[in-house]
Structure 1
Amino acid sequence: MQSGELAGALHAGGVRAGDCVAVSLPRSAEHVVALVAIRQLGAAYLPLDPEWPVARQTALVSRAGATALIAPADRGAAIAGAIPVVDPAARAAPIGAADHGADDLAYVIYTSGSTGEPKGVEVTNGNLAALVAWHIAAFGLQPGTRSAHLAGLAFDAAAWEIWPVLASGGTLVIPDDETLRYDAARLADWLVAERVEVAFAPTAIAEQLIAREWPDTTCLRVLLTGADRLKARPRPGLPFTLVNNYGPTECTVVATSGPVSSDGAGLPAIGTPLPDVQVHLLDAAQAPVAEGAEGEIWIGGAQVARGYRGDPRLTADRFVSHPQWGRLYRTGDLGRRDNEGQIHFLGRADAQIKVRGHRIEPGEIEAALVAIGTIAGAAVAVRDDDLIAWVVPRAGVQLTAHALRAQLADSLPAPMIPARFALIEALPLNHSGKLDRSALPDPMRTALPETHAARAPQSPTEQRFAAIIAEAIGRSDFGIDDDFFLLGGHSLLGTQVIVKAREAFGVDLTLLHLFEARTVARLAAVVEDMAMAHLASLSDADIARLMADPAG
């Protein structure tokens, strides 16, 4: 078995039970084999997204105290530091599966931290086993059940996708094209073609999937969603059940879950607690709130993680021993329970924010901005669903949004890079000397220029493409050489751009073209090349017909 032989190679390289092994591989069967090999040794895995900046991967490998890194040798050397790099194709005499104690670690996943540093959540075998048992029973997994693997590789939902399928003898279906995960139309076609029965999609994509028409050949019976507040209900007659889920990484992916009906009133609930999970809604004195009242969500039970790796102080602050219910995790989320026992998510109790399903602590981004050296102070908040950074420049410094994004990209993943930057003379403070985010000014009034000399669109194609992108991202202060994704664009907005570009230019443009070209100038060139190729393919008869009837 490949995983046993890779486990043998890891063991030969010094990895032992209880160690932590980092994995930086693209989505593939090879990636899953690496995770299984680590688990066979009784070690825990640290998933890294290979698309992250090298500096961020290196920092997390060091912070986690990983003893080895599984990655291709050419890329792994830049990430690993002093620890050995094990090629995913490495093989040695197989190692038998180690005994797994319930309190031993299964994996470590880093989430955004309020102190400016990411937090490593330690999830145990017992935590993971409770999630797996619930999932298999709740969604009827059995040998041969086809489930999709679509979640971000360093997102805890990936563990939710992988381990129940392997434990039940099911089939994990992995897409060849990463970009279809962000394109609802292509994703729906893929789910049908691959006969997928169970799949997870982040909220923004799920909301598009439940609005679609599905063919009679659809095998999908359960669409799981989560990571953001669900704002839509499924239309009647869908061939699958939409299940809304809620849970912090600190409680092993899912703490509450429930099917969403098409005829309910108001925003959908986040369901009811899992069988081995308890949810308490408490007030500031840690006492239960009245039925139907708003309270902070505290979670107890078998899925509450061990704590934060290497941070006993933060662990003690968030994982609290309650005098009545024992060890609980304090989520910082607000909720209420209705008269049917369903829990409704009401937002955050602290400054933590979510942007397109990614949980983000503003402090981590603010710390990265100040670390650049040209910024004396920074504040980050969400305005109109965009991540905005207000910056106080050091004396004599000329800043541009393009330069700041490029510098942040060396240390932060794409979801944590602000869409817009605004210049302020000083950070607004409240009476206690703390940052007053509500007093931050309108970012459009003092927006930083994208570049010192942005190049304006010249050709009709560039002008039309610039207008399409401006409409999608809600701004026009950019040049034709500015990167769409660094302007605040993302895959969902990219889908809108592609649809409108197809209508405007009559060419078969795809999301892949946008990922590769990225700027107005290069996209315009792609469109013009496609148009010329189409003209070159026409016969003399086709040309004569078009000249006779231009509208036809």
Structure 2
Amino acid sequence: PATLGALFDAAARRDPQATAVTQCALDGATRSLTYGELSAARDALAAALRAAGVGPGERVAVAVPRSLEQVVALVAVVTAGGAYVPLDPAYPDSRLEYVLADAAAQVVLVAPEQRDRFTRLLARAGVPARVLVQGERLPRATAVPATSAAGPRDPAYVIYTSGSTGRPKGVVVPHSSVVALLANTRPDMDFGPHDVWVQFHSYSFDFAVWELWGALVHGGELLVPEYALTRSPVDFHRLVRERSVTVLNQTPSAFHQFIEADRHAGEPLPALRRVVLGGEALDLGRLRGWVERHGTASPQLVNMYGITETTVHVTHRVLTDEDFDRGDASPIGGPIPGLAVYLLDDRLRPVPPGRVGAIYVAGAQVSLGYLGRPALTAGRFVADPFAGDGSRMYHTGDLARRTLDGELEFTGRADDQVQLKGFRIEPAEVEAAIRELDGVVDAAVTVAGSGDHLVAHVVGRPPGDLAVPLASKLPAHMVPARVLRVDALPLTVNGKLDRKALAEQAERAEQAERAGAAG
């Protein structure tokens, strides 16, 4: 069984002169590394990490902005045998400090401009990690094996997701899970050295795992656009066109913006052969304009359902013209080879076709669990009663139904968790942050009816704009865009928070605002 470091080595040996990664600026400037150059830079940094004590099972926090250096850092960590913990420098200090303490990383790898900040955060968190500054003179090991020191079941990365307890939780993913994902999607996707990928997503979001390793393991080119370029649909569309991108990975929210830019551009995208959608429920109706211009065959539209705990993608569905004729269902297809998807009731019994059941996932891509949280791991990673070999399945908390032809349709969540712009968000974590603010008596969070932002329902009279203090506690995607001040939070007859009534409350407020604007 292979590791990510070994698979990268194989791609680099096949064609060391091929372009591996290109950094793209908004003004059109670029920097590139060939596979040979990336391999050499990786080896030097991996040697420094080994000299600092990094080996199998050790976690390395990586706080490097999106760049060639970020790619070098991630490949170097897995080659040294460690597991990378991506820390987006755009996140507020309080969240970074929490993750540093929870991950207990042995080494923190930073860009030069982040040295002082992370030295301070480590001191506050009480973490005795060593800070290595990428690009400066680093310690060297006397002997560094060319291949990864890690084994297939050693952790490759730890990504933190929103937590229902009000704190993020780290998901530990081994090399074997990512290798299985890439190997089992290759036959259907036909990825190879001819492909050009884009790292659109933050490396703190697991969609970026697919983008990074999907490109490098298959010998393709990875474009790394600066953040401002990813947030300008017009400029990003031009990048995809001019750089002949062949594989585009998008959340539905991001792709809706790309569709609008495409409509105005009126330019063909002849190189683009596949658009992979994931991270959110898909609304087929919002893709109709794209399908009218491009059809569904070239480029191919693929909807993939998945979650961090089961390594990015679980199901695969190539969308066809018939899907757009059938209505507003959210088709997610069938499981990737090597995975089993069960739809079960509350007694773990399979539900019949047409009935909604809870999604459980079993197979090679199931991760190792939550870092340092054995009770939570035991509650969500449970014995697979259908395997008979002691293996585990993951209870996703999502719901779906199976159609008569065996395809899966996503129907929503069984709990309060939401997906917004590709990120999984526990409202409880946002609510906990709001309740800590002066003047707040209670709070609840919902997703707006448009599905593109959070709404905070706040009891009390906090002074000023809540977005300012929340930005120091939460990542930007978790800060509510709208605040509704209410006298009390609605409850159900059982005394529980009535989230349906909250959603209706937010919708009425939006309708009133639209009516006021129209008047």
- TM-score tier by shorter-chain length is 0.7 to 0.9
On the 8 A contact 2:172/2:367 being kept in 1, the answer is: yes
Q: Which residue does 2:424 correspond to in 1?
A: 359
Q: Which residue does 2:32 correspond to in 1?
A: none
Q: Which residue does 1:53 correspond to in 2?
A: 92
Question: Structure 2: how far apart are the matches of 1:337 and 1:292?
Answer: 6
Question: Structure 1: how far apart are the matches of 2:220 and 2:174?
Answer: 23
Question: Structure 2: how far apart are the matches of 1:89 and 1:135?
Answer: 35
Q: Which residue does 1:150 correspond to in 2?
A: 200
Residue 289 of structure 1, CA deviation: 0.5
Structure 1 pair 441–3 and aligned structure 2 pair: CA distance change class (3 A): closer
The counterpart of 1:71, out of the listed 98, 110, 118, is 110
SS of aligned partner of 1:270: strand
1:172 aligns with 2:228: no
Q: Which residue does 2:23 correspond to in 1?
A: none
Structure 1 pair 156–474 and aligned structure 2 pair: CA distance change class (3 A): farther
The counterpart of 1:120, out of the listed 170, 173, 176, is 170
Q: Which residue does 1:253 correspond to in 2?
A: 312
Percent identity, aligned pairs only? 38
SS of aligned partner of 2:270: coil
1:332 aligns with 2:374: no
On the 8 A contact 1:135/1:164 being kept in 2, the answer is: no
| 1:155-189 deviation line (CA, Å, top 9, x unaligned) | 001011111221122211222x4233234333222
| 1:289-325 deviation line (CA, Å, top 9, x unaligned) | 0112211111111111111111111111111113223
Question: Structure 1: how far apart are the matches of 2:503 and 2:422?
Answer: 25
1:230 aligns with 2:282: yes
1:388 aligns with 2:388: no
Residue 87 of structure 1, CA deviation: 1.1
On the 8 A contact 1:424/1:446 being kept in 2, the answer is: no
Residue 208 of structure 1, CA deviation: 4.7
On the 8 A contact 2:109/2:134 being kept in 1, the answer is: yes
Letter in 2 for 1:415: H
SS of aligned partner of 2:205: coil
Letter in 1 for 2:315: T
1:139 aligns with 2:189: yes
On the 8 A contact 1:401/1:421 being kept in 2, the answer is: no
Q: Which residue does 1:454 correspond to in 2?
A: none
Residue 475 of structure 1, CA deviation: 9.7
On the 8 A contact 1:73/1:87 being kept in 2, the answer is: yes
Q: Given the two structures, how large is their TM-score scaled by the length of structure 2?
A: 0.80
On the 8 A contact 1:73/1:85 being kept in 2, the answer is: no
Structure 1 pair 383–206 and aligned structure 2 pair: CA distance change class (3 A): closer
| 1:321-373 deviation line (CA, Å, top 9, x unaligned) | 13223411111111011123221110111111122332111100111112234
Q: Which residue does 2:341 correspond to in 1?
A: 279
Residue 65 of structure 1, CA deviation: 1.2
Structure 1 pair 438–87 and aligned structure 2 pair: CA distance change class (3 A): same
The counterpart of 1:308, out of the listed 363, 370, 380, is 370
Structure 1 pair 217–358 and aligned structure 2 pair: CA distance change class (3 A): closer
The counterpart of 1:376, out of the listed 441, 447, 460, is 441
1:7 aligns with 2:46: yes
Q: Given the two structures, how large is their TM-score scaled by the length of structure 1?
A: 0.76
Residue 68 of structure 1, CA deviation: 1.3
Structure 1 pair 475–15 and aligned structure 2 pair: CA distance change class (3 A): farther
SS of aligned partner of 2:365: coil
| 1:216-236 deviation line (CA, Å, top 9, x unaligned) | 562111111111122134515
The number of equivalent residue pairs is: 448
**Any residues of structure 2 matched to 1:418-429 within 5 Å, and which?**
418-429=480-491
Give structure 1 regions of 4+ aligned residues with deviation exceeding 6 angstroms: 444-447
On the 8 A contact 1:221/1:241 being kept in 2, the answer is: yes
SS of aligned partner of 2:433: helix
SS of aligned partner of 1:174: strand
Q: Which residue does 2:462 correspond to in 1?
A: 399
Specify every segment of 5 or more residues in structure 2 that has no aligned partner in the other structure, as ranges.
Answer: 1-39, 123-127
**Any residues of structure 2 matched to 1:403-482 within 5 Å, and which?**
404-430=466-492, 432-440=494-502
Residue 117 of structure 1, CA deviation: 1.0
Q: Which residue does 1:198 correspond to in 2?
A: 247
| 1:421-444 deviation line (CA, Å, top 9, x unaligned) | 223344444455433333449757
Structure 1 pair 441–278 and aligned structure 2 pair: CA distance change class (3 A): closer
| 1:420-469 deviation line (CA, Å, top 9, x unaligned) | 2223344444455433333449757999xxxxxxxxxxxxxxxxxxxxxx
Structure 1 pair 444–136 and aligned structure 2 pair: CA distance change class (3 A): closer
Letter in 2 for 1:152: S
Q: Which residue does 2:10 correspond to in 1?
A: none
The structure having more radius of gyration, on CA atoms, is 1
Q: Which residue does 2:411 correspond to in 1?
A: 346
Structure 1 pair 84–377 and aligned structure 2 pair: CA distance change class (3 A): same
